[in-house]
Each structure stands twice: as C-alpha cells, then as structure tokens.
Amino acid sequence: MSLPAIELAERSAWTALHALLLEYPSSAEECDDYGMLPLHWSCTDPSVTAAVVQTLLDLHPTGAQTKNTAGLLPLHIAVKAEIDVPIVDMILQAYPAALNVRTPHGDTPGDLARKLASSPELCDVLHINYDAPCRISMESVVSKSRSSSCSFGESQYGGSTMSNVHLPPRWQHEKACHVCQAKFG
C-alpha cells in the first residue's frame, strides 16, 4: 500500500507523489494537522519539480488560496523557501490576489522577497522593485516571530492545540519551522 499524498509531500518524495496524484487526483486535497496541503509542502523544498507543483495546482486550484494554521499561503512559503522563480510564478498565476495577502506578521509576498534580498527575477514576478541585496539576519526573523501576539500551537483561548500533532519526518528534531519560524509543540 502506498503512503498518503500528504506524507509523500512531507518527505519530499516528489516522483512518488506525482505518480500518486496521477492515479488518485483527489489526493491533492489531503490536509495535515498543520493545515498544510501537498501544495504547501511542495513550496517548502527547492528540489520540488515544476511538474509536481503544476499537477497539484491543476488538481486542486483553490489550494493556492488556502492558508495553513500559521496563516501562510503557498506563495508566502515558496518565497520564504526561495523556490525556483518559474514555480513561484505558477503559484501566483493560480491566485494573483495572493500578492496582497499578508502573513500574520503583516508581510506580503513582496515584503518577504525584499527581506530575503531575492533575485531581480523574483521581484519582477512579484511586481516589486528590486532592492540592492540587504539580507536580514535569521535572528531578527526569529526575534520578530517570538514577539508576535499569537504563537503557533496556542489557541485563542489559551490552551495548546498541538498536543497530539506529530511532526513531519524531516522536522522531528527541529524546534521551529525553517520556513515560517512557527514553533513546534
């Protein structure tokens, strides 16, 4: 028996995921406990192929409009993970309004690209002016995320919502998401 699409995406098993999507198209709509679709997971890994992302978008077009539990769209994740520009463009074409959607920290995809001193090509795709490289440190990003009024894993009523959530295989030893800096556990 094959693994579910969401697990293949979490493991970055792109060839196996693509084959599964072609056989079971509805598997593009699977969602994990983090509110992540296979599309979100594909945006975390620069090794993902354009064919996988395009297939995910074709099979579940509204996936590009879906925020995960950290409040991020696939486009936010793709920009933060520095995915190939043509793939970012694919995601943007599926949901052009994403250019104006802000993260919980108030950043648009363009703001994220500026903070990461992204390439002129990505800036063109995101319709922002290219700024001279001035990369911010990871410490300032982590510090900013810690000062947020809403931390990952806590409900608005004060309790933890992550008690029974299992971390994705590649992140089991991490304290926070390497893309959005949301804390685990």
Domains of the chain: 5-135 (1.25.40.20)
Q: Which of residues 152 and 43 earns the better pLDDT score?
A: 43
Residue 15 has pLDDT above 90, yes or no: yes
Per-residue pLDDT reduced to its tens digit, 133-177 = 544 444 444 444 443 333 333 333 344 434 444 455 555 556 666
Mean pLDDT throughout 28-38? 95
Residue range 121-143: average pLDDT?
A: 65
* pLDDT value for 162: 40
Three-state secondary structure call for residue 101: coil
pLDDT at 3: 79
Neighbours of 40 (CB within 10 A): 29
> How would you class 77 by CB atoms within 10 Å of its CB: exposed for 0-12, middle for 13-18, buried for 19 or more?
buried
Backbone angles phi and psi of 160, in degrees to 5: -80, 140
